[in-house]
Amino acid sequence: MSAVIEVDGLVKDFGSTRALDGLDLTVEQGQVHGFLGPNGSGKSTTIRVLLGLIKASGGSARLFGQDPWKNAVTLHRRLAYVPGDVNLWPNLTGGETIDMLGSLRGGLDPKRRQDLIDRFELDLTKKASTYSKGNRQKVALIAALATDAELFIFDEPTSGLDPLKEAVFQECVKEITGEGHTILLSSHILGQVEHLADTLTIINSGKTVESGSIEDLRRLSHETSDPNQPASLEQLFLQVYEPK
Amino acid sequence: MSRPTASPASGSPFTGTGDALRFALKRDRLLLPLCVLGLIGWVGLYVASYSGLYGTQADLNSLYQSVTGNPALVAMVGPTDGLRSLGGATAWETLPVVSVISAIFAMFVVVRHTRAEEEDGRSELLLAAGSGRLATLTATVVITAGALLLAAVGWYVVFLATGYEADSSLLLVAAILGVGLVFTGTTAICVQVTAKARTARGLVGIVIGLAYFLRALGDTGPDALAWLSPLGWAEKTKPFYDDQWWPLILPVGTTILTVAFALWLLERRDIGSGLIQPRPGPARAHPSLLHPLGFSLRVQRGSIIGWTYLLFVYGFAIGAVGNNIEGILESSTSLTAAFASASDNIVDSYFASIFTVLALMASGFAIGGVLRPHSEETHDRAALLMAGPLGKVRWALGHVLIAYVASAMMMALLGLGLGLGLGVVTGDFGELGTLVASGFAQAPAIWLTASLAVLLFGISSRASGAAWGLLVAFVVVWSIASFGDLPDWIVDLSPFSHIPAVPAVPLDATPLWIMTALSAVFTTAGMLLWRRRDLL
């Protein structure tokens, strides 16, 4: 297996603020990798470095073995991205936006597009200015999931979605994982990560705290807490962050 | 808010106005004082340059001789009846331009604190926290009126300190203040009508343009038309030669009525939407949207169409009036021989100055256009595009080139409008080609101004806004240089000083090529810097 994402000792400074302080993250091909951390811990900053939107101040970040800052355009042909806070062009309808975003990657598979629209129940004829947060999120999700990207980067993709649509998102991810796609999933919904991810990286204050397969991390937590009960992700998460 | 000023249980729609006032003042604690000081300093510069220029009665007489009865100047500035005194000359030159700038200032302040806040979803927070529906608008009107009043007091002090007659000075600043207040109320209405701050500003811009146009028509034709314009009312006070106080009733009454109407509308509409609701659109994208350049064009389309339409119609109207000017000049016997022999040139000079004014205006469009990537960046939409296989430079440069091409096109169409307006009335379309070329010749100055905005955008997202300050500086340089006295080196700093006064003089293309080359250099530098900097 080759690593799709390789982040090693990544540092990012914004003026005098250090947002990332030696962060490590490795995602192998075909994995669904959960990316957890409290608010402001640097998840979105890491993702923005990986997308080549901002430049690393130190350390290295590699996507498919290449520098995401220098080779942004070629790398972006191979990935799809959904941010946690989708802002759209107020005058365009949802349908127009999905088609426009899809066209950047050479167009969407019409069948898949229609299938996703049906499942997410999005009204395509509404102007983006009239969409709720959840509906804006659906637009970006459909535009991403209807592509045939090798890597999907989801940054809290279901924020604002109702529980039914969140379940639809989980189904969709399950469907594409079988096909060799790699997924980086940053989320605060631990049940979602537990359900989808094989491996996990937990970060805090711009540094990696834990990393490994969910099973390994559970065993680790096993040894330190009640040996008879398998730790849930929530227990694991709280264990990492709770003040000792 | 944590400390409601009115009784919390009162539930009045004005509850929380005091807090909204403090909040807005705190937010603009730097910007607003700077703008007011700028307005005062600008008028100060004017006044200082006049005392030097028209220090003696002989200077004033020669000014009077050279401009009296020139309908082109009457249309552009106003009636020349009061020009025999220094006060009259000062009022003639300052009142129209300071009034328009006050109106634009009122527009920016009101939109910034009302519709822009609502569009970004911030006003909901205040409303949900117990603030009354009308609190923000009321506070905004108070702040805008207060800022205008402070500026007026500053101008009054400037006039008194320079030795102008007190009563007439007071009337002059009151007349200008009146225009600012009328447009405070007008903007308060416009922000109720449209759901977007940008559209609201466009709407107010149209009203200001209309007011200017009606005043110009009224001053050169049927007087009644000038009485329909707030700019006409200000002029009818005739400060320094026939002090008339009673026309001030009109702006005072209009301000009260417009603000009351705006509050009435606000109490009846939904928060977050305008009076015009967005309609459903197509479920599939038009093929033109599926290309990055087509998409960028779509994003800019509304403002391109609006500006082009405005400039063309304005050009047509000016062209038609231009013929009228020619007629008056030919039939007039009171004009000096020198003046009459140059009559052809006077229409052309008039057109040349119209081109400069509108090129400055069109630079507003061009800056807005080249800074689209900046607004996409701050609204967090750029990341969605930049995460796709679309190069940063390719995308931003697309927006920049669209703005460059569109601004050149609209200036050429302005020339076409002028030529057609002139031709329809005279039956002679011979000037058409020259006028189109003259409009097009303004483009390099617009490009150069906009390319400086591109450079600022490349430096950082925060620096981008400074481009507007640059445009204001060019407007100030032009307005002072065209009437008063400025050191050459300052005048030379503005690109608009280097466009030949076509069609009044033969076209010398050298400065145009130099400015075009400089635009290319700044644009390239801006794009290189943009490629190297982080997305916001």
- Helix, strand or coil for residue A209? strand
Phi, psi of B481 (to 5 degrees): -65, -30
Conformation bin of residue A106: beta by default, left when phi > 0, alpha when psi is -120 to 50:
left
Q: How far apart are CA A159 and CA A171, in angstroms?
A: 16
Based on its alpha-carbon atoms, the radius of gyration of chain A, rounded to whole angstroms, reads 18
Spatial separation of the C-alpha atoms in residues B481 and B356, rounded to whole Å: 12
CB B234 within 8 A of CB B159: no
Nearest in space to B526 (alpha carbons), one of B442, B403, B359, B407 = B403
Q: How far is CA B15 from the centre of its chain?
A: 34
Nearest-CA distance from A231 to chain B in Å?
A: 36
Q: What is the pLDDT of residues B290-304, one digit of tens each?
A: 999 999 999 999 899
Residue B429: closest CA among B290, B323, B302, B530: B323
Joined together, the tokens standing for residue B226 give: 């000038």
Q: Do B381 and A127 touch (CB under 8 A)?
A: no
What is the spatial distance between Cα B518 and Cα B515, in angstroms, rounded to a whole number? 5
Place of tokens 């290309």: B291
Amino acid A86 reads: V
Q: Tell me: pLDDT of A19 over 70.
A: yes
> Residue B6: what pLDDT?
45
pLDDT: which is higher, B330 or B139: B139
Indicate yes or no: CB of A95 within 8 angstroms of CB of B285: yes
pLDDT digits (tens, 9 = 90+) for B420-471: 988 888 888 988 999 999 999 999 999 999 999 999 999 999 999 999 999 9
Helix (H, G, I), strand (E, B) or coil at B78: coil
CA distance readout (Å), B520 to B16, B127, B292, B395, B473: 51, 48, 22, 17, 22
Name every chain B residue with its beta carbon within 8 A of the beta carbon of A81. 384, 387
Tens digits of residue pLDDT in B55-95: 778 878 877 777 776 676 787 788 888 888 889 988 988 99
- Whether A104 sits inside 8 A of B283 (CB atoms) is no
Which strand (E) or helix (H) includes residue A14? Answer: strand A3-14
Q: Give the pLDDT band of residue A224 (cuts 50, 70, 90).
A: low
Q: Do B281 and A74 touch (CB under 8 A)?
A: no
Binned at pLDDT 50, 70 and 90, residue B480 comes out as confident
User: Could you give the ipTM of this predicted complex?
Assistant: 0.91
B281/A contact by beta carbon, under 8 A: yes
In chain A, what are the domains?
3-78+151-241 (3.40.50.300), 88-149 (no CATH)
Q: Where does residue B341 rank: exposed (0-12), middle (13-18), buried (19+ CB within 10 A)?
A: exposed
Q: Which two tokens stand for residue B251?
A: 């702006």
Interface of A with B (CB under 8 A): 48, 51-55, 72-74, 76-77, 79, 81, 83, 85-93, 95-101, 103-105, 107, 124-127, 129-130, 140, 153
pLDDT of residue A226: 59
B287/A contact by beta carbon, under 8 A? no
**Residue written as tokens 């928060």?**
B271
Candidate from B283, B379, B389 with C-beta closest to A93? B283
pLDDT of residue B340: 38
Residue A2 sits at φ, ψ, to 5 deg, of -110, 150
C-alpha–C-alpha distance, residues B410 and B312, integer Å: 7
Secondary structure of residue B70 in the 3-state scheme = coil
Q: Is the pLDDT of residue B126 over 90?
A: no
CA–CA separation, A211 vs A200, rounded Å? 6
**Predicted pLDDT at B484:** 63
Give the N- to C-terminal CA distance of chain B in Å, as an integer.
Answer: 30
Compare all CA atoms of chain B with the CA of A77 and give the residue at the minimum distance.
B389
CA distance B10 to B474: 50
Query: What integer pLDDT is reported at residue A84 of this predicted model?
Result: 92
Amino acid at A69: W
Reported as a single tens digit per residue, the pLDDT across B209-239 is: 899 989 988 888 888 999 999 999 999 999 9
pLDDT-derived band at B10, boundaries 50, 70, 90: low
- Containing A224, the helix (H) or strand (E) segment is helix A214-224
Q: What percent of chain A is predicted at pLDDT more than 70?
A: 93
Burial class (CB in 10 A: 0-12, 13-18, 19+), B121: exposed
Mean pLDDT of A27-39: 93
Amino acid at A118: D
Strands A151-155 and A182-186: parallel
Mean pLDDT of the B357-365 span: 94
pLDDT surpasses 60 at A227: no
The secondary structure element, H or E, covering residue B315 is helix B292-331
Query: How close is the nearest chain B Cα to the Cα of A39, in Å?
Result: 19
Contact of B280 with chain A, judged by CB distance below 8 Å, is answered with yes
Task: Give the pLDDT of residue A229.
Answer: 62
Query: What pLDDT sits at residue B333?
Result: 41
Chain B residues with CB-CB distance to A121 below 8 A? none
Check CB contact of B535 with chain A, cutoff 8 Å.
yes
Size of interface A-B (CB pairs under 8 A): 105
Query: A108: how many CB neighbours lie within 10 A of its CB?
Result: 22
- Given A53, A79, A100, which is nearest B289 (Cβ)? A100
| CA-based R_g, chain B, Å | 24
Q: What is the C-alpha separation between B306 and B292, in angstroms, rounded? A: 22
Per-residue tokens: A123: 């009204």
Residue A228 DSSP one-character state: T
CA B409 – CA A237 distance, rounded (Å)? 60
- pLDDT value, residue A81: 96
Residue B278 sits at the chain A interface (C-beta within 8 Å): yes
pLDDT in tens, A43-73: 999 999 999 999 999 999 999 999 999 999 9
The better pLDDT of the pair B488, B250 is held by B250
Among B5-19, B256-270, B323-337, B513-527, name the one with the lowest average pLDDT.
B323-337
Mean pLDDT throughout B489-515?
92
What pLDDT, on the 0 to 100 scale, is given for residue B85?
87
Please tell me the distance in Å from A216's CA to the nearest CA on chain B.
Answer: 33
- Beta-carbon separation of B386 and A72 below 8 A: yes
Beta strands A3-14; A199-204: pairing state: unpaired
Residue B483 is predicted with a pLDDT of 63
Residue of B nearest to A147 (CA): B388
Quick: pLDDT tens for A165-223.
999 999 999 998 878 899 999 998 888 998 999 999 999 999 999 899 888 887 766 56
pLDDT for the residue numbered B278: 80
Residues of B in contact with A105 (CB under 8 A): 388-389
Q: What is the pLDDT of residues B313-351, one digit of tens each?
A: 889 888 877 666 555 444 444 443 333 334 456 778 778
What pLDDT shows up at residue B446?
98
Nearest residue of A to residue B286, measured between CA atoms:
A96
**CB distance B392–A72 less than 8 Å?**
yes
Instruction: Round to whole Å and give the CA distance between B396 and B394.
Output: 6
Integer Cα distance of B76 and B78 in angstroms: 6
Mean pLDDT of the residues in chain B: 88
Please enumerate in sequence order all residues whose Cβ is within 8 A of that of B370, keeping only pairs 6 or more positions apart, or say none.
B399, B400, B403, B404, B450, B451, B453, B454, B457
Backbone angles phi, psi at A182, to 5 degrees: -105, 140
Task: Write out chain A residues lying below 8 Å of B118, CB-based.
Answer: none
pLDDT in tens, B377-402: 998 999 999 999 999 999 999 999 99
Q: What is the pLDDT of residues B157-170, one digit of tens each?
A: 999 999 899 999 99
> Cα(B176)–Cα(B185) distance, rounded to whole angstroms?
15
- In angstroms, the separation between the Cα of residue A238 and the nearest Cα of chain B is 32
